């Protein structure tokens, strides 16, 4: 894996996350969990380069996001859609998603990504904020929350970007 600056990333981030999906991973190699995400953002906040991810409270990954300072977003270029489908439908609570997918964990700073990732972004968790329905202006947003399981937004400061050729 080669380290690059975030400004060197040529890929379209919306297509990367929304169309090809990503893995959100938190924890250490000995104890981590990952799940598929297709919602998220990359940008600038408080004078820092940041990513935003949105995690519903019932996810097992939520517990790992809470207890770890670092997390990664990793991207697979559409090649591992089946495996990402598994990570987006099974829970680490009762399934060994690593064994099921064959994704090979790699220690990245104080967190984890996978050997198969084409791009990994390591983040330091710097803030969270829970979504509140009284802030939703467009009524259709509530269609996403039949169970009132409002996402927790995590803001991560981008620490490192790694690419696999």
Ligand X SMILES: Cc1cc2nc3c(=O)[nH]c(=O)nc-3n(C[C@H](O)[C@H](O)[C@H](O)COP(=O)(O)O)c2cc1C
Q: Is 59 in the site for ligand X (CB under 6 A)?
A: yes
> Whose CA is closest to 18, among 40, 41, 38, 36?
38
User: For every residue of 29-98, which 3-state class applies, written as one string?
Assistant: CCEEEEEEECCEEEEEECCEEEEEEEECCCCHHHHHHHHCCEEEEEECCCCCHHHHHHHCCCCCCCCCHH
Between 93 and 115, whose beta carbon lies closer to ligand X?
A: 93
By CB under 6 A, which span of 56-64, 103-111, 113-121, 155-163 interacts with ligand X?
A: 56-64
- Which of 26, 51, 55, 112: binder of ligand X (CB under 6 A)? 55
User: Residue count at the site for ligand X (CB under 6 A)?
Assistant: 19
- Which of 9, 28, 52, 54: binder of ligand X (CB under 6 A)? 54
Measured in residues, the chain has a length of: 165
Query: Please, what is the minimum distance in Å from the beta carbon of residue 140 to ligand X?
Result: 17
Q: Is 51 in the site for ligand X (CB under 6 A)?
A: no
Transcribe 90-153 into DSSP letters. Answer: S-TTT--HHHHH---EEEETTEEEETT-SEEEEEEEEEEEE--GGG--SGGGGGG-TT--PPEE
Angle ∠(128,40,141) on CA atoms, nearest 5: 85
C-alpha–C-alpha distance, residues 165 and 161, integer Å? 13
Among positions 104-163, residues that touch ligand X (CB under 6 A) are: none
Between 21 and 75, whose beta carbon lies closer to ligand X?
A: 21
Q: Is 72 in the site for ligand X (CB under 6 A)?
A: no
Pattern 24-43, ligand X, x by CB under 6 A? ---------x-xxxxx----
- Which of 70, 92, 101, 121: binder of ligand X (CB under 6 A)? 92
Residues near ligand X, by CB under 6 A: 21, 33, 35-39, 54-56, 59-61, 88-93
């Amino acid at each position: 894996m080669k380290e690059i600056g975030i400004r060197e990333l040529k890929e379209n981030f919306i297509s990367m996350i929304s169309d090809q999906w990503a893995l959100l991973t938190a924890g250490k190699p000995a104890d981590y969990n990952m799940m598929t995400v297709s919602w998220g953002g990359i940008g600038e906040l408080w004078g820092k380069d940041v990513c935003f991810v949105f995690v519903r409270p019932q996810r097992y990954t939520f517990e790992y996001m809470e207890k770890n300072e670092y997390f990664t977003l990793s991207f697979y270029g559409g090649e591992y859609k089946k495996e990402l489908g598994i990570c987006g439908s099974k829970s680490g609570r009762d399934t060994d998603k690593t064994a099921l997918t064959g994704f090979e964990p790699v220690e990245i700073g104080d967190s984890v990504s996978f050997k198969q990732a084409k791009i990994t972004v390591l983040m330091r968790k710097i803030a969270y904020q829970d979504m509140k329905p009284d802030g939703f202006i467009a009524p259709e947003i509530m269609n996403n929350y039949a169970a009132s399981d409002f996402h927790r937004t995590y803001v991560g400061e981008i620490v490192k970007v790694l690419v696999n050729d």
